[in-house]
């Protein structure tokens, strides 16, 4: 018998290796931006088409490459960053494996243009499936521009495995944010399908956090600073009162490289002990600096997990430095709309008599008089008992003001309650809110009067919150309105989604679907939640499953919460939808009937307030 073992051709070997390094557009984005950072760029632009599936282009003003290097960089194990094994223990660059470009070139069409400062002309190279198609001189500015087209064009199995554009885009944004946080000194931009998602000027860390996550972060951050022999810690942590129900912004960087580390995460979480409401998570942006030879970054191909030599000591130092920062800063929350989710470190004033909360019973209360209506949410079950009580209470707060009195045509409240619970906080904050005055800004925000100024409600976040609580209640009470279909639809899924569908079937039915298993990976849809009456059921169910899977892998949410959240996100009113006055009032009403009105299920603020004082200040001479 002849020998049968042979070496794989480079193209095949690279394609196999690519599976490890490039799983999705986001992995390519990470590798390319990191290369630009390693090249000493001060400006890095990222352009995407269709979530990176069609195009990922990174343009930098770094040191560029010579004509030969431009060809060499696509070879496997070709790197300028290390030369000998010992270098592995003193890594100061992001890349060092020399695998990324070889992997990308094996599974995409790549166009590279690059020029060094010392060269008069640049070089341009086109490569497809590892084969160089052309290389020629070109005129281009100093730096490198690399365009990756049609990722996985020659690996259809992988291409089909990619998720929907929003999911892939969100993975890309995650990677982009991680590099952008680690390098506030570099100017970054991200443009997707012609729209600028981020434009981040050169700045410091605090400003970078704010430009990435929103202006309201500025007041939420507490600096952390600690220097020891073992580790130097710097960065910011979020004030406890802004902690989120879901894991929000939590970033560790070791030697400026984003990492995940459950053990260190625990150190942070435990420093907040007793400062946080149960099951809420603080934000943090923490940078650890350790001697490069005390860590092993080689442990994982995508390099987000690392091993420390001195893990226990680092844990202790991290925990105590966070405790110190929390203690040093005055963290007593001011009375504001966020207070609901906050803790107060001070007790009540000594001279105040403490009263037990009151439950007032209103014999006049008639639930059928509920006047708040809101088209899309009304179609579901009526609000929960507590919500209804709050809603009534909310109405009461408007007393003396002109309140819309249109009759609801479709009140689906089935039990009556004679209880009215007054929430003293809202009584203070929102009395004299003039509900008749609402205004929509840019199709995204709802502006409404309050006694002390005005509030701005984010329509999408608010509606997600409303639906989320509604769906959670549907899931616990096992009933929701359903719209029967005249002609039942059959929908088919792949094997993995079928098993997920089987798991979720009872819950989906609780949410207003009327689904039945039909064998062979298919299901019959007899009815749908009224909110989702348009378009086809397959699209709805697929999108909900997609959201669900994303939450499952990223947030490890429990099934019920995850499903309610996925459905709420999917079926909410989106930013950009023009709303009628009635609809806006409906949102405000229902938002304040929520148990947690201040944040979307994902933890985004639903509203923000502006006081008259703030306004007066702005109009001072």
Q: Which residues bind ligand ADP (CB under 6 A)?
A: 31, 35-36, 39, 60, 62-65, 73, 78-81, 95-102, 144
Q: Which is nearer to Mg ion, 101 or 573 (CB)?
A: 101
Q: Which is nearer to ligand ADP, 176 or 285 (CB)?
A: 176
Asked whether the CA dihedral 387, 392, 393, 399 is positive or negative, the reply is positive
Q: How far is the CB of 288 from ligand ADP (least distance, A)?
A: 22
**What residue 80 binds from Mg ion, ligand ADP, none (CB within 5 to 8 A, per partner kind)?**
ligand ADP
Instruction: Name residue, tokens 């209103």.
Output: 362
Q: How far is the CB of 208 from Mg ion (least distance, A)?
A: 22
Q: How far is the CB of 14 from ligand ADP (least distance, A)?
A: 11
Contact (Cβ atoms closer than 8 angstroms) between residue 444 and residue 458? yes
**What residue 144 binds from ligand ADP, Mg ion, none (CB within 5 to 8 A, per partner kind)?**
ligand ADP
Rounded Cα distance between 289 and 230, Å, is: 9
Q: Is residue 95 a contact residue for Mg ion (CB under 5 A)?
A: yes
Q: How far is the CB of 153 from ligand ADP (least distance, A)?
A: 19
- Point out which span in 34-42, 271-279, 351-359, 604-612 binds Mg ion (CB under 5 A): 34-42
User: Is residue 422 left, alpha or beta, with left meaning phi > 0 and alpha meaning psi from -120 to 50?
Assistant: beta
CA end-to-end distance (rounded Å), the chain = 96
Q: Is residue 100 a contact residue for Mg ion (CB under 5 A)?
A: yes
**What residue 474 binds from Mg ion, ligand ADP, none (CB within 5 to 8 A, per partner kind)?**
none
**What residue 79 binds from Mg ion, ligand ADP, none (CB within 5 to 8 A, per partner kind)?**
ligand ADP
User: Around 168, how many Cα atoms within 13 Å sit in the side-chain half-sphere?
Assistant: 25
Q: Which residue is nearest to ligand ADP (CB)?
A: 95
Q: Which is nearer to ligand ADP, 82 or 514 (CB)?
A: 82
Angle between helices 537-555 and 165-182 (to 10 degrees): 30
Rounded Cα distance between 302 and 296, Å, is: 13
DSSP code for 284? E
Q: How far is the CB of 122 from ligand ADP (least distance, A)?
A: 12
Helix (H) or strand (E) holding 332, with range, is: none
**What residue 128 binds from ligand ADP, Mg ion, none (CB within 5 to 8 A, per partner kind)?**
none
Q: How far is the CB of 100 from Mg ion (least distance, A)?
A: 4
Rounded Cα distance between 455 and 426, Å, is: 14
Rounded Cα distance between 493 and 202, Å, is: 47
Q: How far is the CB of 64 from ligand ADP (least distance, A)?
A: 6
Residues binding Mg ion: what is the number (CB under 5 A)? 3
**What residue 435 binds from Mg ion, ligand ADP, none (CB within 5 to 8 A, per partner kind)?**
none
- Point out which span in 99-107, 308-316, 374-382, 468-476 binds Mg ion (CB under 5 A): 99-107
**In residues, how long is the chain?**
621
Q: Is residue 35 a contact residue for Mg ion (CB under 5 A)?
A: yes
Q: How far is the CB of 42 from ligand ADP (least distance, A)?
A: 13
What tokens were used for 305?
A: 């997990």
Rounded Cα distance between 199 and 482, Å, is: 44
- Point out which span in 96-104, 489-497, 535-543, 613-621 binds Mg ion (CB under 5 A): 96-104
- Point out which span in 89-97, 113-121, 153-161, 396-404 binds Mg ion (CB under 5 A): 89-97
Q: Which of 528, 587, 577 is nearest to 394 (CA)?
A: 587
Helix (H) or strand (E) holding 560, with range, is: helix 559-571
Distance of CA 486 to the CA centre of its chain: 38
Contact (Cβ atoms closer than 8 angstroms) between residue 456 and residue 441? yes
Rounded Cα distance between 40 and 79, Å, is: 15
Task: List, in sequence order, every beta strand (DSSP E) within 482-533.
Answer: 483-492, 514-519, 522-528
Q: How far is the CB of 181 from ligand ADP (least distance, A)?
A: 20
Bridge-based pairing state of the strands 284-289 and 250-254: parallel
Contact (Cβ atoms closer than 8 angstroms) between residue 264 and residue 229? no
Q: Which is nearer to ligand ADP, 41 or 460 (CB)?
A: 41
Q: Which residue is nearest to Mg ion (CB)?
A: 95
Q: How far is the CB of 443 from Mg ion (least distance, A)?
A: 41
Q: Which is nearer to ligand ADP, 175 or 589 (CB)?
A: 175
**What residue 324 binds from ligand ADP, Mg ion, none (CB within 5 to 8 A, per partner kind)?**
none
Q: How far is the CB of 61 from ligand ADP (least distance, A)?
A: 10
Q: Which is nearer to Mg ion, 103 or 283 (CB)?
A: 103
Q: Which is nearer to ligand ADP, 96 or 598 (CB)?
A: 96
Q: Which is nearer to ligand ADP, 79 or 452 (CB)?
A: 79
Instruction: Name residue, tokens 């410091």.
Output: 204
Rounded Cα distance between 197 and 189, Å, is: 8
Q: Which of 354, 428, 423 is nearest to 393 (CA)?
A: 423
Task: List, in sequence order, every beta strand (DSSP E) within 290-361.
Answer: 295-296, 307-308, 360-361
Question: Site mask, Mg ion, residues 455-494, x = CB under 5 A?
Answer: ----------------------------------------
**What residue 63 binds from Mg ion, ligand ADP, none (CB within 5 to 8 A, per partner kind)?**
ligand ADP
Q: How far is the CB of 564 from Mg ion (least distance, A)?
A: 41
Rounded Cα distance between 465 and 119, Å, is: 57
**What residue 98 binds from Mg ion, ligand ADP, none (CB within 5 to 8 A, per partner kind)?**
ligand ADP
Count each helix (H run) and each strand (E run) in the chain, helices first: 18, 24
DSSP code for 150? S
Q: Which is nearer to ligand ADP, 38 or 241 (CB)?
A: 38
**What residue 36 binds from Mg ion, ligand ADP, none (CB within 5 to 8 A, per partner kind)?**
ligand ADP
For residue 45, report the phi and psi dihedrals to the nearest 5 degrees: -110, 135
DSSP letters, 135-199, are EEEE---SEEEEEEESTTTT-HHHHHH---HHHHHHHHHHHHHHHHHH-TTSEEEEEETTEEEEE
Binding site for Mg ion (CB under 5 A): 35, 95, 100
């Amino acid at each position: 018998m002849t020998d049968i073992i042979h070496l794989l051709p480079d193209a095949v070997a690279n394609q196999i290796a690519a599976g490890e390094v490039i799983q999705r557009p986001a992995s390519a984005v990470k590798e390319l931006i990191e290369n630009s950072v390693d090249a000493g760029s001060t400006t890095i632009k990222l352009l995407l088409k269709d979530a990176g599936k069609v195009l990922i282009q990174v343009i930098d003003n770094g040191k560029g490459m010579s004509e030969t290097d431009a060809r060499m960089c696509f070879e496997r194990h070709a790197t300028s960053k290390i030369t000998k094994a010992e270098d592995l223990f003193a890594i100061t660059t992001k890349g060092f494996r020399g695998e990324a470009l070889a992997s990308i070139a094996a599974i995409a069409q790549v166009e590279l243009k690059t020029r060094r400062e010392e060269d008069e002309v640049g070089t341009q190279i086109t490569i497809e499936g590892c084969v160089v198609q052309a290389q020629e001189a070109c005129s281009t500015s100093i730096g490198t521009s690399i365009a990756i087209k049609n990722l996985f064009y020659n690996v259809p199995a992988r291409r089909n495995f990619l998720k929907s554009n929003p999911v892939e885009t969100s993975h890309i944004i995650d990677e982009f944010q991680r590099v952008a946080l680690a390098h506030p000194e570099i100017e970054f931009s991200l443009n997707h399908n012609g729209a600028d998602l981020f434009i981040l000027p050169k700045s410091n860390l605090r400003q970078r956090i704010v430009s990435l996550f929103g202006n309201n972060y500025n007041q939420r951050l507490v600096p952390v600073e600690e220097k020891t022999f073992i580790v130097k810690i710097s960065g910011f942590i979020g004030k406890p009162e802004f902690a989120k129900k879901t894991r929000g912004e939590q970033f560790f960087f070791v030697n400026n490289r984003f990492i995940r580390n459950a053990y260190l995460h625990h150190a942070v979480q435990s420093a907040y002990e007793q400062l946080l409401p149960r099951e809420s998570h603080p934000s943090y942006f923490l940078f650890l600096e350790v001697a490069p030879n005390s860590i092993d970054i080689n442990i994982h191909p995508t390099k987000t997990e690392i091993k420390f030599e001195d893990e226990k000591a680092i844990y202790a130092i991290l925990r105590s430095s966070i405790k110190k920062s929390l203690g040093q800063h005055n963290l007593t929350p001011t009375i504001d709309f966020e207070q609901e989710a906050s803790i107060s470190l001070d007790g009540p004033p000594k001279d105040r008599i403490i009263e037990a909360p009151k439950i007032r019973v209103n014999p006049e209360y008639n639930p059928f008089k509920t006047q708040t209506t809101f088209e899309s949410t009304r179609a579901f079950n009526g609000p929960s008992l507590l919500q209804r009580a709050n809603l009534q209470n909310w109405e009461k707060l408007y007393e003396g003001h002109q309140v819309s009195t249109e009759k609801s045509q479709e009140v689906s409240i089935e039990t009556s309650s004679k209880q009215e619970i007054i929430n003293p906080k809202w009584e203070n904050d929102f009395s004299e809110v003039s509900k008749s005055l609402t205004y929509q800004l840019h199709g995204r925000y709802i502006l409404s009067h309050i006694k002390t100024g005005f509030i701005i409600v984010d329509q999408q976040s608010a509606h997600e919150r409303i639906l989320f609580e509604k769906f959670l209640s549907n899931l616990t009470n096992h009933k929701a309105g359903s719209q029967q279909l005249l002609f039942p639809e059959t929908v088919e899924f792949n094997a993995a989604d079928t098993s997920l569908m089987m798991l979720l079937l009872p819950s989906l039915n609780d949410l207003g679907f009327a689904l039945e298993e039909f064998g062979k990976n298919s299901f019959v849809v007899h009815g749908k939640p009224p909110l989702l009456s348009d378009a086809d059921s397959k699209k709805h169910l697929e999108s909900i499953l997609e959201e669900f899977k994303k939450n499952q892998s990223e947030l490890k949410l429990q099934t019920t919460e995850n499903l309610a959240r996925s459905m709420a996100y999917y079926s909410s009113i989106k930013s950009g939808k023009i709303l009628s006055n009635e609809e806006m009032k409906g949102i405000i009403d229902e938002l304040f009937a929520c148990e947690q009105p201040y944040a979307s299920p994902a933890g985004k603020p639903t509203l923000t307030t502006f006081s008259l004082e703030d306004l007066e200040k702005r109009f001072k001479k």
